[in-house]
Amino acid sequence: MSRVLIIGVGGVGQVVAHKCAQNPDVFSEIMLASRTKSRCDEVAAQLPRPVQTARVDADNVPELCALIREFKPDLVMNIALPYQDLHIMDACLETGVHYLDTANYEPLDEAKFEYKWQWAYQERFREKNLMALLGSGFDPGVTNVFCAWAQKHHFDEIHELDIIDCNAGDHGQPFATNFNPEINIREVSAKGRYWERGEWVETDPLSWSMTFNFPDNIGPKKCYLMYHEELESLALNLKGLKRARFWMTFSDNYLNHLRVLENVGMTRIDPIEFNGQKIVPIQFLKALLPDPASLGPLTKGKTCIGCLIKGVKNGRPRKYYVYNICDHEACYREVQSQAISYTTGVPAMIGAKMMLTGVWKGAGVFNMEQLDPDPFMADLNKYGLPWTEVFYDE
Ligand code: NDP
């Protein structure tokens, strides 16, 4: 029996709300909050049981503390944007409540995501005997748990890791992003980076590609090397790791649109002067693009996200692939969202369940691979994200 405050009710927050509401034994009282209360009410009306809603600006720490003191949650789930991470962590520390998020902190004025800002909270969470679980989505999130599972059960040492994220779905729109457009475009247009022999190697944005043959009739697709935040914690926590990379599929159509938008300056994150006022081009672009939450009924096809791992077991080389397939239309039937929001929202609910039931506990700031993967892997199968593993003979 526990109380959870969910902050942010966009594409992902909607799925989190549904999945928590489906599990009343764990999430007995739920509150949905964001700056737009009408959106919280709209999602609340979709749910199978009553939940509370509230308006809050999570960047305003005193306002957030007042809401936390009034609702008295056991856990705050930050499903808003990476910009809010530190403010919500501050409010959790001040009010003595556990914290969970799905994406690491990113300053508004610099397209740069790093764990250093959130890892700096380690001592403060420890001292207050509170737990902060970072990155409980799919990637980061499930991908970290896949690595911990592989490390625990299948490898003595992991040497090479390729995280491969494929969205083989089609929403029929000329150009749209599957989650928050501003965060998505900042991530995709940034320089690539991978870990090799103890060092970070930088690549030009989307300049490296490979073709990977995806399972479940998805077939071969071109994947592009990108930097992704879980590489930072995995490079520290997977002992013996020699190389770690992250790949994502993009259609030629998506990349062509992105290139044109970049060339004309529409993806800039610095303010420009327009008709006597300051606007940030990428924020204006976000206002024009389809809301990712609106893609739910339109998207068909599947996603496939997994980890391809090479290493050693019992003195012999081993190659292993663990992945999940998720169907956009099946997600929509269950929670009125597409699979990108679903694959993020389900692990957020499972991470929260692990914390609230005390299966995962600890004082301090944790990345997902630092906790026991077994109960989380079992829950993925139970709550809609079943996984498959393949061992290749070497
Ligand atoms: P959306 O833009 O659809 O939703 C964001 C939500 O946050 C909205 O409800 C918005 O409502 C709310 N919000 C924004 N600013 C504030 C604020 N200051 N105070 C309170 N609420 C706020 O984003 P998504 O649902 O697509 O993404 C949510 C998070 O999930 C992001 O951090 C994203 O990076 C992460 N993500 C993680 C993935 C993973 O696998 N780990 C994959 C995909 C996404 P309002 O503006 O009304 O306040």
Q: Report the CATH architecture of 2-134.
A: 3-Layer(aba) Sandwich (3.40)
Supply 204's token pair. Answer: 């030009």
Supply 273's token pair. Answer: 């002067």
Q: Considering the chain, what percentage of its residues have pLDDT values greater than 90?
A: 92
Q: Residue 138 CA: which ligand 1 atom is closest?
A: 40
Question: Is residue 368 within 8 Å of residue 133, measured between CB atoms?
Answer: yes
The residue length of the chain stands at 394
C-alpha separations of 191 from 183, 211, 267, 280, 356 in Å? 14, 20, 14, 21, 38
pLDDT at 363: 98
The full DSSP string for 258-313 is: HHHHHHTTTT--S-EEETTEEE-HHHHHHHHSPPGGGGGGG-BSEEEEEEEEEEEE
| CB-neighbour burial class of residue 75 (10 A; exposed 0-12, middle 13-18, buried 19+) | buried
Q: For 71-84, how does the pLDDT look when each residue is reduced to its tens digit (9 = 90+)? A: 999 999 999 999 99
Does ligand 1 have an atom closer than 6 angstroms to the CB of 351? Answer: no
Does ligand 1 have an atom closer than 6 angstroms to the CB of 7? Answer: yes
CA separation for the pair 150, 167 (Å, rounded): 23
Q: What is the pTM of this model?
A: 0.96
Does ligand 1 have an atom closer than 6 angstroms to the CB of 311? Answer: no
Question: Is residue 103 within 8 Å of residue 78, measured between CB atoms?
Answer: no
**CA of residue 183 to ligand 1 center, whole Å:** 9
Pairing of strands 27-34, 52-55: parallel
Does ligand 1 have an atom closer than 6 angstroms to the CB of 58? Answer: yes
Lowest mean pLDDT among 140-149, 175-184, 344-353: 175-184
176 in helix, strand or coil?
coil
CA separation for the pair 230, 34 (Å, rounded): 26
Does ligand 1 have an atom closer than 6 angstroms to the CB of 39? Answer: yes
C-alpha separations of 250 from 117, 222, 255, 370, 380 in Å? 30, 7, 7, 31, 26
* Higher per-residue confidence, 95 vs 189: 95
**CA of residue 180 to ligand 1 center, whole Å:** 7
Does ligand 1 have an atom closer than 6 angstroms to the CB of 345? Answer: no
**CA of residue 80 to ligand 1 center, whole Å:** 3
Q: For 385-394, how does the pLDDT look when each residue is reduced to its tens digit (9 = 90+)? A: 999 999 996 5
In Å, the largest CA–CA distance within the chain is 68
* Closest by Cα among 176, 183, 185, 216 to 298: 176
pLDDT at 186: 87
Does ligand 1 have an atom closer than 6 angstroms to the CB of 296? Answer: no
**CA of residue 235 to ligand 1 center, whole Å:** 27
Q: For 280-298, how does the pLDDT look when each residue is reduced to its tens digit (9 = 90+)? A: 999 999 999 998 888 889 9
| Element containing residue 248 per DSSP (H, E) | strand 243-249
Out of 344, 349, 350, 367, give the residue to mutate to test ligand 1, the one with the largest number of ligand atoms within 8 Å of its CB.
344
Calculate the CA 227 to chain-centre distance: 14
Out of 16, 35, 67, give the residue to mutate to test ligand 1, the one with the largest number of ligand atoms within 8 Å of its CB.
35
Does ligand 1 have an atom closer than 6 angstroms to the CB of 146? Answer: no
Q: Considering the chain, what percentage of its residues have pLDDT values greater than 70?
A: 99
The structural domains of the chain, with segments of one domain joined by +, span 2-134, 142-337+384-392
Does ligand 1 have an atom closer than 6 angstroms to the CB of 298? Answer: no
pLDDT above 90 (res 57): yes
The full DSSP string for 17-64 is: HHHHHT-TTTEEEEEEEES-HHHHHHHHTTSSS--EEEE--TT-HHHH
> Going by C-beta distance under 8 Å and a sequence separation of 6 or more, which residues neighbour residue 251?
none
CA separation for the pair 304, 223 (Å, rounded): 12
114 in helix, strand or coil?
coil
pLDDT at 394: 58
142-337+384-392 classified as CATH 3.40.50.300: no
Q: For 193-230, how does the pLDDT look when each residue is reduced to its tens digit (9 = 90+)? A: 999 999 999 999 999 999 999 999 999 999 999 999 99
pLDDT at 268: 93
Q: For 316-335, how does the pLDDT look when each residue is reduced to its tens digit (9 = 90+)? A: 999 999 999 999 999 999 99
Looking at every residue in the chain, the average pLDDT score rounds to 96
Of all protein residues, whose CA lies closest to atom 23 belonging to ligand 1?
180
Report, as an integer, the average pLDDT of 110-119.
89
Q: Which amino acid is at 290?
A: P
Does ligand 1 have an atom closer than 6 angstroms to the CB of 344? Answer: yes
Report, as an integer, the average pLDDT of 234-242.
95
Q: At what angle do helices 339-356 and 373-382 cross, to 10 degrees?
A: 130
